[in-house]
Amino acid sequence: MLHIKLESQLKNTWKFPGGLSEPGEDIGDTAIREVFEETGIKSEFRSLLSIRQQHRSPGAFGKSDMYIICRLNPNSFTIDFCHHECLRCEWMDLNALAKTENTTLITRRVARLLLYGYREGFDKIDFTMEELPAVYTGLFYKLYHKHLPDNYKTMTGID
């Protein structure tokens, strides 16, 4: 599990790489870009894991804030982290991350969610992405949801 160490209100805290979406940028593309900018790791989107919603956060520019955590597959493993955003960056054992006190509650909770996914199957935790045609000709949208079996997608063999 790739994590970065920040110096913030919580001194020397481990957290997941992340940041703000650019206008018109999809969730998965934001995650891939932010991970690369902060760590130098190239990756591909696998699923959406969780969403945290928060209001009146000092760092949200006066807006309500949604923090979306994605599961990515690394395509590279050599870290070349951004020294302006991170004190350290390293691959960390998921069991250790789930137990450390040097992180935030959300990071520990997501680490435990990932442990559950590794042990029981990611189908238990993942929200997959499906691109579907919009009602407007030529436009598409992305729908994130738990896996839906093919017979339910086409409604064949359903009584």
Q: pLDDT, tens digit, for every residue of 45-96?
A: 999 999 998 888 877 788 888 899 999 999 999 999 999 888 889 999 999 9
The CA R_g of the chain, rounded to the nearest whole Å, is 18
The beta strand positions in 24-87, using DSSP E, are 43-54, 65-74
Q: Determine the Cα angle at 106 with ends 18 and 16, to 5°.
A: 25
The catalytic residue positions are: 37
The answer, yes or no, to whether residue 8 has pLDDT greater than 60, is no
Give residues with Cβ within 8 angstroms of 29, minimum separation 6.
45
pLDDT tens sequence across 139-148? 999 999 998 8
Residue 153 lies in a domain: no
Distances (CA, A) of 76 to 17, 35, 79, 133: 15, 11, 8, 33
End-to-end CA distance of the chain: 43
**Is 129 a domain residue?**
no
The whole-number average pLDDT for the span 98-124 is 93
Q: What is the CATH number of the domain that holds 70?
A: 3.90.79.10
Q: What is the reported pTM?
A: 0.84
| Domain count along the chain | 1
Q: Is the pLDDT of residue 4 over 70?
A: no
In this structure, is residue 18 part of a structural domain?
A: yes
